[in-house]
Amino acid sequence: MSSNSNPIKIGIVGVGKIVRDQHLPALAKDQNYRLAAAASRHGKVDGIPNFPTIEAMLDAVPELDAVSLCMPPQFRYDAARTAIEAKKHVFLEKPPGATVSEVEDLKVLAAKNGVSLFASWHSRYAPAVEAARSFLASTRIRSAAIVWKEDVRRWHPNQDWIWSPGGFGVFDPGINALSIVTHILPAMFITSAVLDFPENRAAPVAAQVTFRTSNGLPVTMDLDWLQTGPQSWDILADTDAGKMVLSGGGSKLAIDGRVVHDEPEAEYPMLYKRFAEIVRAGASDVDLAPLQHVADAFMLGKRNVVDAFFD
């Protein structure tokens, strides 16, 4: 295992779009890490050894300290278990697993094997989220709403796994909103949901969800995966101190129309900074609240069949 003064030797598993767009640039700039290997059925990373499976990577590069798992959530449990039993720290791309019970078991396994497990809710690390949390903690909230609408064709082109059972559908982006609101609002519980399933898909393309908080406040969530034009990633709250709008997926905060916080996005560098912190500290960071809300929406939700979806 890496000491506190040496770079964490990390391997990355599942070399797809999110790895190339976010993980590789973040790792390249972080002196806490040395990217030592990659494993993927299709993609490769230049300049390091590449393997077809995580098992082959761990066999060939036993000196790895950690792995970052970026394959679809349906396949993440087995890979995480393999890594944990090999005494490797594990970074889980969001969502951390296909089910709550899988991730609960990984928490137990990580503790048993003395390694760190990290559920990396990247939107929670957006630059204005902490400012929004502080603002809401300083006032009385009357109600809140989540409006999360984007174009699946733009962000997930030809990715069939997201439409399969366990692929989350519109809750793949929607869980980003849930990762923020579970951090900035009081505890919430779903009271009703309507999920729109295309007749040719096994996951929803839109959802309307209502919550109540632990102190009885109403919260609504409107998810849509067929939004064209400008994309909407907004969390709104009506409070005694004014109307709050946290927009841009958590990057900008405005109160009564006045911008009070606006910084460039740096979510993945912050995620890897946090992962290094918990690895050095011998701790884990696994919050299951966002995933639990998705599970509850599927359990309580009314299924509404809509027209077939085609890429």
Task: Please write the tens of the pLDDT for every residue from 165-196.
Answer: 888 999 999 999 999 999 999 999 999 999 99
CA distances from 124 to 10, 177, 263 (A): 23, 8, 14
SS3 breakdown of the chain: % helix, strand, coil, rounded to 5? 35, 30, 35
Q: Which residue is catalytic, options 88, 94, 149, 252?
A: 94
8 contacts 2 by C-beta, under 8 angstroms: yes
> Lowest mean pLDDT: which of 78-92, 96-110, 160-174, 179-193?
160-174
- Tell me what pLDDT residue 238 has: 98
* Buried b / exposed e along 81-102 (16+ C-beta atoms within 10 A): bbbbebebbbbbbbbbbbbeeb
28 contacts 85 by C-beta, under 8 angstroms: no
Laid out side by side, the sheet with 188-198 consists of: 258-262, 252-255, 242-247, 232-239, 141-149, 218-224, 206-213, 188-198, 302-306
Rounded to whole angstroms, the Cα distance separating 255 from 237 reads 10
First to last CA, the chain: 45
DSSP SS3 for 226? strand
Task: Please write the tens of the pLDDT for every residue from 282-296.
Answer: 999 999 999 999 999
Is 94 one of the annotated active-site residues of the chain?
yes
For the chain, percent of residues with pLDDT exceeding 70: 99
